[in-house]
Amino acid sequence: MTLVSPHRGFLLERLEGSTGTMSWWSGRLIRMRDQLEDLSDAAESAQELPGVGQAVTAVRKDAGELITAVVSDSEEAGLLARVLQDYSDAFDRHARRANDMVEEIETAHARWSQLYDDAVGAARTAAAITAAAPQLLVDALSSAADEAAADRDLAWRELSELWAEYETYRAGWDTAYDDALAALAGAGSASLSPQERRLLVDLLGADSPAEVLRLWQEHPEAHADLIAAHPDIIGNLDGIPYDARAEANRARLDDLLKTEPPGERRDDLEAILRALLVEGTPRPALISFDPDGSEQVTAAIAHGDLATASDISTLVPGMNGDVHDLQGWGEAARALNRDVGPGSATVVWFGYDTPGLTEEPAMGRAKDGAAALASYLDGLRVLAPDADVNVVAHSYGSTTAALAIGSRADGFGVNTFIAVGSAGFPNADGIAENLTNGQPPRVYATLSEDDAVARIGRGTSFVHSVVPEHLDGVTVFDSDGGVDRDGDSLPAASGHDAFGPGAYLQPGSESFYNVTEIIRTGEPGTQRQGEGSTKGFWDASHWWISDEFEFFDF
């Protein structure tokens, strides 16, 4: 049970943060600022070079342009250093002390709860004594009830004092957090009015996507200016309507492409642009876009109208996925919309750093991705409260999605969770229980008999080795060839790929057909090992061990 403070409604939880790391980065930023100032001084000296001629004039011109660029970067580095150090100091003063009280409050609450039950029991026992009982027994039981009530009340006062202290520290940390946001929001916001800057701070400090949406809807007059001044914030803030986010992100992408030099980052930006340049109505929408916030450029593209859709599916990629795959996934997304029917919209969500081969056995990438996916799903449910929400996740993407969806008993409002070629669900406490508790989401899984990669992924990990196909309540469907409702042949998935020939999400395949039927009707469209099904390399008949040896039956 999660405890909540009685007066301010603060959750009793540990606040994450490393003052050492924050201070280290603050120091690095200060050194960067100093180096930029030295570079600016050198450029000013270059402007004063004596002589005439084309070369000297060019040097002076370049020096002037360099000074203009360096001054802005220097000021930004200095601001970030100050904000980060101030926040680090505040974390020590407030958040660290709040964290130190968590266990003490949990213990005090447990003691009060027990004494409360004891007092109730003692009072009931005293009240049950009849008039015929000896007066000595009546007096003893009444005295015991009074003592139990006194112990209960004392425990409550002690608990209340702890809560009051905790709320003081949490409030101090909240204020420091808001101050940091205000400082960052003020930077680069010269074009905004004081009211617009205040709204930006409020949006950044909002506790939920629902609060973000409320603030946004209350101030339509500020939308255009906020998008223009801070497309990086508005384009990625869960709770902001997707049309506004798409407008901000597309403008930012176009602006970056005007100045981005050749290289890997430009290649990524151009890959996103290509995925957006698809004919049709509505055009694909860039609903999240972060070229700088992580190791990879991340993005999410919506195919279909999220504002009016009755079915919204989200495709989550796995190992080695990146924005260069957006086109291939986009084809699968549009085919899914077409096969599910009117009212379907699909998001291709590359919103996290996917793991490479050496990172796949661990959970680091899944934990970061799950936090981002959970926030996205929270925002999606706020913006599309009446839509059925489906998540289709491939490979390590299913590990990430299972961690996100299974972290809450309500599954963030997801109705259907479909895992294809899963690398295994997390072994973390409560995840499998939340996914199979009889409440939404309903979970489905498939594993091709020719998919060695997924099996290796499960077999080489100690932290995401839960086999989804073996969980109670999970509906397993085939991807090894079959026939559709009209008797037409459906190709098998012949490996681990998500899209392309022989892939799980290749339109026309058995796996893809079953995914669309699950979203449409709640049930797979083909029978397990039914007509047309083929035996793959990993079928049990190929091995001398029985099914009880799970390593070979992932």
Considering the domain 19-186 in this protein, what is its CATH number? Answer: 1.20.1270
Query: pLDDT tens for residues 391-427?
Result: 999 999 999 999 999 999 899 999 999 999 999 999 9
Q: How far is the C-alpha of 440 from the C-alpha of 377, rounded, in Å?
A: 14
> Looking up tokens 């309540």, which residue turns up?
473
Q: What is the pLDDT of residue 554?
A: 38
- Assess contact for 91 and 124: CB atoms under 8 A: no
Pairing status of strand 311-316 against strand 285-290:
unpaired
What rounded mean pLDDT belongs to the chain? 88
| Amino acid identity at 356 | G
| Amino acid identity at 80 | L
DSSP E strands in 304-424: the ranges are: 311-316, 344-350, 388-394, 416-420
- Angle CA(110)–CA(111)–CA(113) in degrees, nearest 5? 65
User: Averaged over 98-115, what is the pLDDT?
Assistant: 93
Q: Of all helices (H) and strands (E), which one includes residue 523?
A: none
| Amino acid identity at 367 | K
Q: How far is the C-alpha of 211 from the C-alpha of 62, rounded, in Å?
A: 47
**Which sequence spans correspond to the domains of the chain?**
19-186, 188-259, 282-552
CA distance to 223, 251, 298, 483, per residue, from 187 (Å) = 18, 20, 24, 60
504 vs 79, which has greater pLDDT? Answer: 504
Q: What is the pLDDT of residue 73?
A: 74
Confidence grade of residue 163 (pLDDT, cut at 50, 70, 90): very high
Half-sphere exposure of 287 (CA within 13 A, CB side): 30
The segment with the largest mean pLDDT, out of 23-32, 60-69, 313-322, is 313-322
The segment with the largest mean pLDDT, out of 20-24, 62-66, 290-294, 369-373, is 369-373
Query: pLDDT tens for residues 230-265?
Result: 999 899 999 999 999 999 999 999 999 998 889 999
Q: What is the pLDDT of residue 552?
A: 41
Strand partners, 77: none
- Assess contact for 44 and 68: CB atoms under 8 A: no
CA distance to 29, 86, 87, 118, per residue, from 79 (Å) = 9, 11, 12, 56
Q: What is the pLDDT of residue 534?
A: 67
Q: What is the pLDDT of residue 541?
A: 46
Q: What is the pLDDT of residue 2?
A: 67
Token pair listed for 262: 């050749």
- Angle CA(485)–CA(491)–CA(492) in degrees, nearest 5? 115
pTM of structure: 0.74
pLDDT above 70 coverage of the chain, percent: 92
User: Averaged over 172-183, what is the pLDDT?
Assistant: 80
Q: What is the pLDDT of residue 152?
A: 94
481 phi and psi angles, rounded to 5 deg: 95, 140
Contacts of 467 by beta carbon, 8 Å cutoff, 6+ apart: 424, 425, 458, 550, 554
User: Averaged over 2-30, what is the pLDDT?
Assistant: 82
Is 544's pLDDT higher than 70? no
Confidence grade of residue 86 (pLDDT, cut at 50, 70, 90): confident
Confidence grade of residue 72 (pLDDT, cut at 50, 70, 90): low
Q: How far is the C-alpha of 389 from the C-alpha of 312, rounded, in Å?
A: 5
CA distance to 104, 424, 439, per residue, from 387 (Å) = 43, 28, 17
Other beta carbons within 10 angstroms of residue 24's beta carbon come to 13
Which of 64-78, 224-238, 462-476, 532-546 bottoms out in mean pLDDT, i.e. has the lowest? 532-546
Top-level CATH class of 282-552?
alpha beta
Query: pLDDT tens for residues 192-223?
Result: 888 888 898 888 888 899 999 999 999 999 99
Chain Cα centroid distance, residue 236: 12
